[in-house]
Chains A and B, each alone.
Chain A
Amino acid sequence: MKYLQIILALTFSSNLIFSMSGSWNANSASILENKKWEVGLFQPFRYGYSEKVEYSVHPIVFFVMPNMSIKKEEKNWKGFNAASSLSFRYPTPLLNILSRKGIGGLLDPNLNLPPMLGVSYSWIISKPLKYFDLTITNGLDFGLVYGSLKKSSTIDLPLVFHRLSIFNNGWGYHGGIDIQKPLLKNFSVLIDLDLLLLPNLDKAQSNPSFEKMRGNYSLEHKFLLSWSKSQKFRVTTGYKLVHAEFPFGEQTRLLPYMPLIEKWVPIVELQWSGIKRGKGQKLDPEKWLKKK
C-alpha cells in the first residue's frame, strides 16, 4: 500500500510539469464541447458539462489529493474569448504521505500537517491572431490552513515549492502567456511563459535573520510539440524551464530532469479524447469535430 501511495505522489509530481498546459486548449478560454472528454497520462480528466461549463479532476491523484476545477465561459472582452476558472485542492493527505521516514520522505517525518485547502481563481482570455492563437491568464491563489503549519514544511524543488508555499504565505499571484500554432498537417507547438509570485514570503518565513529565507517568484517557460493522430489521440513531448528563487537562492532547472542518469529527458504525454453518448445516441462527427 505504501508503494502505491508513493507512486500516486510521484504521478502528481509528473503532472506538475504538464499541468495547466495547452493540451487540446485546456489552458485557453475555450470550453470543452458539451459531453466531450479529454484525459492524459499526466493530465486531468476534463469533461464538457455544458456548452459553457467544463470541469476537470485528476482521477489518479484524487485519492491522495482531492481536487476539482470548474471553467466557465464569460462574456467576450475586446475581441477576446473569455473564461474564468475556479479550482480547489486538498493536499494534506498527499503531504502526510510524503512526510515519512526512509526513501520517499520528501518532508520531515515529524511534521503533522493540518487540513489545508488551496483555492485558485483565474481569468483567461484567448484570441486567434494572424499567425498563432494567443492566451493570457491572470489569477490569484489562496492557501487556507486550519491549524498551524511549520515553516519547514516546504518541498524546495522547482514547480513544487511555489505551489505549496501558498499555504505558508496565505496567497499568491499567477499569470502567463500561451502561444499555440499549428505547424504541419497534424503537428502543433505550444510555447508559454508563466509567472508565480509569493509576495512578502520572506516575512512569512520562520527566522528573518537567516539571510537566505526567500522564494518570492518562479518564472516558468514551456515548449510542447504535439502530434495528433486523430481527434481522439495525441502525443505531446517537450520541456519546461524553470528559473525561480528558493529559500537557498536562485536556481534554473530544465525539466524533466532524471537524477540518476543526470540528464534531461523529454517527457512523452499521451492524451485521449472522446464524447459521452447517451443510450441509443449515434455519434455525429460534424457536431463532434473540434473548432480550431
Chain B
Amino acid sequence: MKIFKIPLLFILVIGCDPFVTEFSETENAVMYKASNIPGDSDVYDDGALKVVTWNIRFGSGRFPFFGDSCGDEVISENSDVKLIMQAIADTLNKIDADIVLLQEVDVSSKRTGYLDQVQYLLENTYLNYGCYASMWKADFIPTDGIGKINTGNAILSRYEITEAERVELRLRTDQDDLIQYFYLRRNILKAKIPSLAQSGKDFFAVDIHATAFATDDTKQQHLIKYSEVLSEIANNNGVFVSGGDLNSVPPNSTVDFCMLDKCDSEKYVDSEGSESEYHSIDSSAGPHKEGAFFDNFEGEPDILQPLYNNYSAAISHANGSTLDSSNYTHAPSTSYERHDIKYDRKLDYLFTNGSWEDGSGYTHQEAWALSDHMPVSAIFIPVFEQEL
C-alpha cells in the first residue's frame, strides 16, 4: 500500500484546486511586471504624482451585459474587447498618470476571451508594474453562461510595487448560501511603492471596489473596513493615495435611481418569488431596485462624510463640486439608449492623507463610451513640497 501513498497524495494535491476560490482575510496580491521596462522610466524624480481611478468594466465598453444593465448579453465578441482595451490603453497613455487604480479588470474570464487585461495594459502603456486582487474567481459559474471568471481590482504604476496585499471585505448577508458561494468576494488592494516614500514616510496606493447591489449593511461594513485600512496607514506615519468605485453617492446627492434604472417590464421579486412593482416615481417607499437606491440603511446617504472629513478629496465636496454634473462618473450602460443619459451620479472617488494640487481633480467624461464609469484623476503634491 505504501507504494500508492505518494502518487495518490500527488494526485490529490495537483488535482484539487478549489472550484470557487474563497480568500483569507488578508493575503498577498498577484504581482505583475511589463515585459520591457525602458531605461530609467521607473526612476522617481521627486515630482508631483498623477493618480487616476477607473472602473473599466472588464473592457466591454457599453456592452449590454445582463448583470449590470438592461441588456441580455453575456459573452463579448473578442474583437470588440480588443478594440475597447486598446482605447482604454490609449486613454491611460493620454492621461499619463503615475499610479492607476482600476476596478473590474478581467484576467482570465470566458466573457472577455480569457485576455489578461492587467498584462495587456502593462504591455500597451508606459506603466511598468502592477498588482491584482481578485474579487470573483471560479473555474465555472453555472449560471447565465458566465463560465470561468477571474475579475478584480488592479493597481498599475510607473514605479516598482514591492508589496501588495489583498484585504477581504465582508460578504453580503442578504443572499442564500448557494448564491453566496458563487458570488463576488470584494476586496481592498493595498500596494506599497518604496521609491515614492515621502520624507521617510512609506507610500501606499489603495484601491477599493465596494458592494454595488447589497440591500443589507454590507456597504457600511465595506466603508468601515476601508476607513480602517486608510487610518492604519496614516497612524503608522504613512502616506496614501486611494480611491476606487465606492458605489455610493456623495452626501446631499439624489439617492433614488430606481425608476431610471428599472428595465422595461422589470418587477421586484421577493424571496418567495412574488412579484410586485418598484415604487412609483413620486414615492421612495420601496421596494427598490438593487444598486439603484442609496438609502438602504440608516446613514447611507452620508456614508462618505467621514472620508471627506478626514482626508483630502480630489473633487471637493465642501464647495459642492461633487454634486456638479460635470463630476458625474456613472450611469448603467444602457441608460444612453433608453434615456439619453451618459452619466447621472458620482460613484468614483480619490482621497489622500496628503494634498492634491488645487483644481487638479478632473472627471474624464469624454471617456464615457469605454465603460459605464468615467476615470477620475488628480495630481498629488509630494509631502516634502508640502513642507516647504
Which residues does A use to contact B, with CB under 8 Å? Answer: 99, 101-111, 152, 155-157, 206-207, 209-213, 239, 241-242, 247-249, 251-255, 257, 259-260, 262-264
Contact = CB atoms under 8 A, between A and B. Distances in A.
Given A110-B73, A157-B139, 19 more contacts: A101-B66, A102-B143, A105-B143, A107-B145, A109-B145, A110-B145, A206-B77, A206-B79, A209-B82, A210-B114, A211-B115, A212-B113, A247-B113, A247-B114, A248-B114, A254-B11, A254-B12, A257-B19, A264-B15
A157 to B, nearest CB: 6
Contacts of A213: 113-114
Contacts of A248: 108, 110, 114, 148
B229 interface: no
A136 to B, nearest CB: 23
- Chain A, interface SS category: loop
B72 A254 contact: no
Contacts of B39: none
Given A207-B82, A248-B114, A260-B181, A105 B12 contact: no
Nearest to A150: B75
B145 to A, nearest CB: 4
Interface of B: 11-12, 14-20, 66, 72-75, 77-79, 82, 108, 110, 113-116, 139-140, 142-148, 178, 181
A156 B148 contact: yes
Contacts of B143: 102-105
A204 to B, nearest CB: 13
Contacts of A109: 72, 74, 144-145
A244 to B, nearest CB: 12
B113 A105 contact: no
Nearest to B138: A259
Given A212-B115, A213-B113, A257-B19, A103 B142 contact: yes
B108 A99 contact: no
B11 to A, nearest CB: 6
Contacts of A155: 147
B379 to A, nearest CB: 36
A101 B116 CA distance: 26
Contacts of B142: 103-106
Contact of A264 (B16, B66, B140): B16
A161 to B, nearest CB: 10
A21 B72 CA distance: 40
A211 B123 CA distance: 13
B113 A210 contact: yes
B144 A101 contact: yes
Nearest to B77: A206
B142 to A, nearest CB: 6
Contacts of A212: 108, 113-116
A152 B110 contact: yes
A103 B77 CA distance: 23
A274 to B, nearest CB: 35
A108 B110 CA distance: 10
Contacts of A264: 12, 15-16
B106 to A, nearest CB: 11
A108 B145 contact: yes
Contacts of A103: 142-143
Contacts of A239: 11
A54 B80 CA distance: 50
Nearest to A263: B16
Contact of A257 (B16, B72, B144): B16
A110 B110 contact: no
Contact of A207 (B12, B18, B113, B140): B113
Contacts of A262: 16, 18-20
A254 B12 CA distance: 7
B15 A253 contact: yes
Nearest to B150: A248
